[in-house]
Amino acid sequence: MAQPAPPQPLNWTVVGQGAIGLLAACRLSRHGTNVTLWLREQRTVNVQFVAANQQSSFVFSMPSKALNAVLVPVKSYAVISAVQQLKANLAADAQLVISHNGMPDLALLQAQLLPSQGLWFLTTTHGAVTSGTENQIRVEHTGGGQSVLAPVNAVARLYARQVEPAMHTALGPVQQVEDILPFLWHKLAVNAVINPLTAIHNCRNGELRQPHYRRQLEAIIAEVCSVATASGYPLDIAATNDTVRSVMEKTAQNYSSMQQDIYRKRQTEIDAISGFIVRQANKLGLNVPENMQLQQQILQLQQRYL
């Protein structure tokens, strides 16, 4: 039986008003796409977008009809709740693109959707920061990056010609792949070093290049590589060290998302980063004392205000 043609065009909705989500919304809008925001309450949001020394202004409102294309760039701990809140408003053939730091539970995410709804996962290295109030927000694109996008289920693959170009505009350049997990392991190795250490020491990414951090950085990376390799996704220690140092160099002036979470007294994604490594190591009978210590330190910092 012939498959039905995907709808044209997809009407994109971005969940929340986090930095990466608003970055994507502004870039889509700048290229003529009509974008709405899914928020907790009915309101409009005025956004001043700053990128490459150019400024643009956009006004985003809530969607007024069923959602057929949704970008969900929320924190890892909030993604299941966000999808559950969306479910009643999703079109039967809706396409969801999930993006967060750390390792996702793709099976749990897919279980939230109908068989006719497509699920994607996107990982990105773009950087952005926001300031202002709930309804008057300034979004600055602080670091150009790239993204990797993968379909999670068969239905998503039918919509590749619609979803991939949109994500290329929003958070491109985009590389579309069949299996996202090798890329997530590489990013996890970077996040496992930069995020918790910058949060603990309240510093910019580039400060981790100082010599006194070297031993700890190498120990964290060695543990992540051992867990990844034992999980079927081999990571070379030397190459991963080079990657982490390259990211620290390119993002030297940036504050990591976890540093910002601790600074602003918000919940972090430590459970999906260091916590994931610790849980996976326990399953495999491996010891990861450095990552375990980082997890405990971040949890202790959070306990001061959560």
Q: Is 87 a catalytic residue?
A: no
Best CA proximity match to 189, nearest among 71, 280, 80? 280
| Residue of 75, 187, 265, 283 marked active site | 187
Q: Let me know how long the chain is.
A: 306
CA–CA dist 144, 107 (Å, integer): 31
The dihedral through the CA atoms of 27, 149, 145, 124 has a sign that is positive
Q: What single string gives the DSSP state of each residue in 177-233? A: -S--HHHHHHHHHHHHHHHHHHHHHT--GGGGGSGGGHHHHHHHHHHHHHHHHHTT-
Beta pairing, strands 118-124 & 147-151: antiparallel
User: Which residues does residue 106 pair with via DSSP β-bridges, in sequence order?
Assistant: none
CA–CA dist 238, 141 (Å, integer): 31
274 Cβ contact list (under 8 Å, min separation 6)? 192, 196, 291, 292, 294, 295, 298
Name the DSSP letter for residue 102. S
* Residues 88/64, Cβ–Cβ less than 8 Å: no
Longest CA–CA separation in the chain, Å: 63
User: Which residues does residue 47 pair with via DSSP β-bridges, in sequence order?
Assistant: 58, 137
> Hey, which residues are catalytic here?
187
